[in-house]
Amino acid sequence: MHVLRTVFLFCALPAAVLAQDDLLDELEKQADGKPQPVSATFKSTRIINVQSVETMKRNHLDFRISHRFGRLNSGAKEFFGLDQAVMRLGFEYGITDDLMVGVGRSGEQKAYDFFGKYKLLKQTTGAAQSMPISVTLFGSAVIRTQESFVPGETYSFQDKLTYTGQLLIARKFSERLSLQLTPTYLYRNRPELSNDENLLLAMGVGGRLKVSRRVSINADYFYAFRENNNLPYYNSLALGVDIETGGHVFSLHFTNSLGMIEKQFIGETTGSWGKGDIHYGFNISRTFSLDRKKKLLPN
């Protein structure tokens, strides 16, 4: 009898597998468990000042307007800095989903910046052998077109160039928290101040904490490894809020840096948080899809 019951149960099994809910279970078993890259480690291609591991997707164009106002401690007469503003305009474009290029024009030093970003590694979730971090390479060249930093001196084309190389290493720890480390190599063919070094190495840390589905608190900081401590420069710190409104990302923040490109905020920040040299600023980004795939729909 016992044998019979076992045999019967065994035989009844295929029928049970095909019943009701089990069709769904069967589909789940068939589904591929391939590791998926995490989405949106950061909301945009910047944390605040620093580049984030994110790149523009293929055939997408981002138009960015960044503003930094004057210093808060400039007083009521200057409307706490709001009377003055510097701006950077930029166009950034995704050649592939992993490779992007960008160009920008900063009012500060009348500088043109050209950069490229490439996603080297992507953090994944799911399978056992998932990638714990994302790594993006960043390289830029900047030309300062504003004449003579010191009156009377002349500068060659070469003198006006600065190069930046960065390794952007980030991890999305949870849906809410993402952190990034940014080792930086900054080379000035001719530094703004004659007693400054050509080569500056720096380490950046930054991150975002989502407080709601559309709002996050962001921060980034750079520690510059300077040998000369007599320079009037400070480390850059920015704190802000990102608000996302479908198509736009508004980034509102406070920072002691006036410049919005690496050369300026990592190497030439003259403001000090301690003294109240804080600039209110915002970045607005609007992304356009240039992808017009008509074959998307069957009919």
Partner 1 sequence: MTNINPKNWCLNGLLFSFLCCFSTLTQAQLYATSTGQTNFFSETPAENIRAVNTKTQVLLNTTTGEIAVRMNVRDFHFPNKLMEEHFNENYLESEKYPTSTFKGKITKLPDWTQNGTTDVRVDGTLLIHGKEQPRTLTGKISVQEKNITLTTDFEVALKDHQIDVPKIVFVKIAQVIDVKANYILTPYRR
User: Is residue 132 a contact point for partner 1 (CB under 8 A)?
Assistant: no
CA 150 remoteness from chain centre: 34
User: Is residue 150 a contact point for partner 1 (CB under 8 A)?
Assistant: no
Residue 298: CB minimum distance to partner 1, A: 6
Q: Which of 156, 213, 227, 274 binds partner 1 (CB under 8 A)?
A: 213
User: Is residue 136 a contact point for partner 1 (CB under 8 A)?
Assistant: no
DSSP state of 19: S
d(C-alpha 169, C-alpha 180), whole Å? 5
**Which region among 21-29, 158-166, 188-196, 258-266 touches partner 1 (by CB under 8 A)?**
21-29
Conformational region of residue 246, where left means phi above 0, alpha means psi within -120 to 50, and beta covers everything else: left
d(C-alpha 125, C-alpha 189), whole Å? 43
For every residue of 132-147, DSSP letters joined together read --EEEEEEEEEEE-S-
**Which region among 27-35, 140-148, 200-208, 275-283 touches partner 1 (by CB under 8 A)?**
27-35
66 touches 282 (CB < 8 A): yes
Positive or negative CA dihedral for 259, 189, 101, 112? positive
**Segment 166 to 205, residues that bind partner 1, using CB under 8 A:** 175
Residue 214: CB minimum distance to partner 1, A: 6
Q: Which of 65, 103, 248, 276 binds partner 1 (CB under 8 A)?
A: 248
Footprint of partner 1 on this chain (CB under 8 A)? 3-4, 7-8, 10-12, 14-15, 18-21, 23-24, 26-28, 30-31, 36, 39-40, 57, 60, 175, 213-214, 243-248, 287, 289, 291-293, 296-298
